[in-house]
Amino acid sequence: MAEKNESTLISDDMVFRGSVETDHPVVVEGKLTGTLIARGRVQIVSGASVQANISAREVEIEGEVQGNILHADTVVMQAGSRLTGDISCTQLEIQRGAKHTGTTVMK
């Protein structure tokens, strides 16, 4: 049986309020408020807005996040991204032009 390539999408025309918990990758193009727990990758694209605490294996931020990255193996902040909150991760990459306000704990 072929492996499914599934992901959870919060599209650019969506506003989601609540908790998301999934084993699959998550792509946020719209607005999310609440909690986001993913055992896979989380991508917050340019123009997306997240007000949530996030736990994921990998977090890539291109848009705006207000909340804490509670634990992640890897966090990547792309140029133009904004994060207001604390980060707890193993690896952190911040591109020139990204803005982070908060504390960082490397594990």
- Please give the residue range of the domain that contains residue 49: 8-106
- Assess if residue 1 is contained within a domain: no
The reported pTM is 0.93
pLDDT (mean) for 13-23: 96
CA 63 to chain centre: 9
Residue 90: enclosing H or E segment and its boundaries?
strand 87-94
Residue 43 lies in a domain: yes
Mean pLDDT of the chain: 95
Q: Work out how many domains the chain is built from and give that number.
A: 1
Tell me if 26 is assigned to some domain.
yes
Write out pLDDT tens, residues 69-105. 999 999 999 999 999 999 999 999 999 999 999 999 9
Residue 107 three-state SS: coil
| 20-72 confidence digits (pLDDT tens) | 999 999 999 999 999 999 999 999 999 999 999 999 999 999 999 999 999 99
Burial of residue 59 (number of CB atoms within 10 Å: 0-12, 13-18, 19+): buried
70 burial type by CB count under 10 A (0-12 exposed, 13-18 middle, 19+ buried): middle
Q: Which two tokens stand for residue 53?
A: 């605490």
